[in-house]
C-alpha cells in the first residue's frame, strides 16, 4: 500500500473516534444520562487542563524514543488498544454508576483516559508526516489524501452517528466505530516503515525549545487566533445535537440530514477557498471564512424547521471548509 494512502487511512480511523467523541460526548452525558451541566463542565475543565499539558509531554517523549521499529510506531502500537477501550467505555455507561456523584467520577475518569491515549496517538501520527514525506510534491499528495479521508471521517462521525446510535445504541455505536477505527489505524501501522535516519537528529532540549516558543511573536498571534477559532468550532459541534433536538425538534434522520448539509457544502468549497487564497491571500481568505462561519452561527437563531435550517447549514459548511 502506498505510504500516502496508508497515512490517510490512519487519519480516517483517528478522526472517526475523535470527532464522534467531540461532537456527541456532551449530548450523551447531559441528555442521555442526565449528568448535571455544572458537573459536566467541571469534568471538561479538568479534561482541558490535561489536554493542554499532554501534547508537549508526549511529543517530548516521542522525540527521545529510540527503537529498531522507529520513534513513533511503537507509541502508536501501544496507545491504539487503550484508545479503543477508552472510546468504548466513554459511550458504554454501566448502570450501577447512575446513582449519586459516581456518574461524575465515571465521566471524568473515562474522558481523561480517552484524552491520554487520543493525544498519544494523534501526536505520533502527526509527527510521522514530515518524516514519511520529505519532498514538497510528496507532502502535497499525502495532504490531499489526508484531507479527503478527513472529510469522510467527519461525514460518518457527525452526520451518520444519529442513525447509528438510534439503531445500535450508544454502546453498539462505540463498538462498531472502535472496530472500524482500530482496523484502519492498524492497516496504516503495518503498511509504513519509519526512516532510520530520522532518529539520528538530536531533538532540541525541552527548556530551550519552550523558551524559543514563548519568544516567537508570530506563534503567539497565530496560536491565540487558532485558540478562539477552535473553541468556537468545538463548541458549535458539541451544541449542534442539542440544537437539532430542542430548537428544531428533529429526530435522528432529520438531524443527520442537517449535519450532512454542512459537510456536503464544506467539501466542494475547499476548491473555492483554494482559488480565493490565491486572489485574497491566505490571511484574507481565512478571515472571510471565519466571517461566514460566524454569520451562519448567528443565523441559527432564525430557523424553526429543518427546511429553514438547511440553507444556514450550507452557509456554515462553506465557512467551515475555509477554516480547515
Residue that terminates a domain, selected from 213, 244, 269: 213
Asked whether residue 77 falls in the same domain as residue 180, the answer is yes
Asked whether residue 109 falls in the same domain as residue 157, the answer is yes
Asked whether residue 241 falls in the same domain as residue 308, the answer is yes
Asked whether residue 70 falls in the same domain as residue 183, the answer is yes
Domain with 310 in it:
217-323
Q: Which three cell numbers stand for residue 188?
A: 496504516
Asked whether residue 55 falls in the same domain as residue 184, the answer is yes
Asked whether residue 221 falls in the same domain as residue 173, the answer is no
pLDDT at 108: 94
Q: Write the pLDDT tens digit of every residue in 72-129.
A: 888 899 999 999 999 999 999 887 666 678 889 999 999 999 999 999 999 999 888 8
Residue that terminates a domain, selected from 189, 213, 237: 213
Asked whether residue 200 falls in the same domain as residue 229, the answer is no
Residue that terminates a domain, selected from 213, 240, 255: 213
Burial state string for 61-96 with b = 16 or more CB within 10 A and e = fewer than 16? ebbeeeeeebbbbbbbbebbebbbebbbbbbebeee
Q: Who contacts 277 (Cβ-Cβ below 8 Å, separation ≥6)?
A: 285
CA distances from 86 to 82, 89, 94, 107, 278 (A): 6, 5, 14, 11, 43
Asked whether residue 7 falls in the same domain as residue 156, the answer is yes
Q: Write the pLDDT tens digit of every residue in 30-64.
A: 998 889 999 999 999 999 889 888 888 888 787 77
CATH code at 130? 1.20.1250.20
Q: Are 238 and 25 in contact (CB under 8 A)?
A: yes
Asked whether residue 180 falls in the same domain as residue 225, the answer is no
Residue 2: HSE in the Cβ half-sphere, 13 Å Cα cutoff: 9
Burial state string for 271-298 with b = 16 or more CB within 10 A and e = fewer than 16? eebeebbeeeeeeebbebbbebbeebbe
Asked whether residue 55 falls in the same domain as residue 190, the answer is yes
Q: Are 202 and 16 in contact (CB under 8 A)?
A: no
Mean pLDDT of successive 10-residue segments in the chain (324 residues)?
A: 85 93 93 90 92 83 76 89 96 76 91 95 88 78 81 86 92 95 93 71 66 71 75 79 85 84 82 79 84 88 87 88 78
Asked whether residue 142 falls in the same domain as residue 28, the answer is yes
Asked whether residue 185 falls in the same domain as residue 291, the answer is no
Q: Are 5 and 145 in contact (CB under 8 A)?
A: yes
Domain count within the chain: 2
Amino acid at each position: 500500500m502506498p505510504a500516502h494512502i496508508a497515512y490517510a487511512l490512519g487519519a480516517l480511523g483517528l478522526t472517526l473516534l475523535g470527532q464522534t467523541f467531540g461532537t456527541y460526548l456532551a449530548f450523551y452525558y447531559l441528555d442521555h444520562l442526565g449528568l448535571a451541566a455544572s458537573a459536566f463542565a467541571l469534568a471538561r475543565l479538568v479534561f482541558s487542563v490535561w489536554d493542554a499539558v499532554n501534547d508537549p509531554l508526549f511529543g517530548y517523549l516521542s522525540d527521545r524514543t529510540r527503537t529498531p521499529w522507529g520513534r513513533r510506531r511503537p507509541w502508536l502500537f501501544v496507545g491504539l488498544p487503550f484508545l479503543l477501550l477508552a472510546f468504548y467505555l466513554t459511550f458504554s455507561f454501566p448502570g450501577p454508576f447512575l446513582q449519586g456523584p459516581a456518574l461524575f467520577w465515571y465521566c471524568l475518569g473515562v474522558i481523561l483516559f480517552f484524552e491520554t491515549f487520543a493525544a498519544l496517538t494523534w501526536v505520533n501520527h502527526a509527527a510521522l508526516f514530515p518524516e514519511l514525506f520529505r519532498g514538497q510534491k510528496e507532502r502535497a499528495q499525502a495532504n490531499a489524501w489526508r484531507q479527503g479521508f478527513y472529510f469522510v471521517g467527519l461525514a460518518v462521525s457527525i452526520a451518520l452517528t444519529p442513525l447509528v446510535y438510534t439503531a445500535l445504541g450508544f454502546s453498539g455505536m462505540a463498538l462498531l466505530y472502535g472496530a472500524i477505527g482500530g482496523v484502519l489505524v492498524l492497516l496504516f501501522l503495518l503498511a509504513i516503515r519509519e526512516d532510520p535516519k530520522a532518529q539520528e537528529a538530536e531533538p532540541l532540549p525541552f527548556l530551550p525549545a519552550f523558551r524559543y516558543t514563548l519568544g516567537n511573536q508570530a506563534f503567539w498571534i497565530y496560536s491565540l487566533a487558532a485558540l478562539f477559532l477552535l473553541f468556537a468550532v468545538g463548541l458549535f459541534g458539541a451544541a449542534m445535537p442539542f440544537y437539532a433536538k430542542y430548537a428544531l425538534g428533529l429526530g435522528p434522520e432529520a438531524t443527520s440530514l442537517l449535519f450532512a448539509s454542512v459537510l456536503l457544502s464544506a467539501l466542494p468549497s475547499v476548491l473555492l477557498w483554494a482559488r480565493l487564497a490565491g486572489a485574497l491571500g491566505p490571511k484574507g481568505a481565512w478571515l472571510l471564512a471565519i466571517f461566514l462561519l460566524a454569520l451562519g452561527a448567528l443565523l441559527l437563531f432564525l430557523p424553526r424547521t429543518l427546511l429553514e435550517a438547511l440553507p444556514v447549514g450550507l452557509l456554515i459548511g462553506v465557512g467551515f471548509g475555509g477554516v480547515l
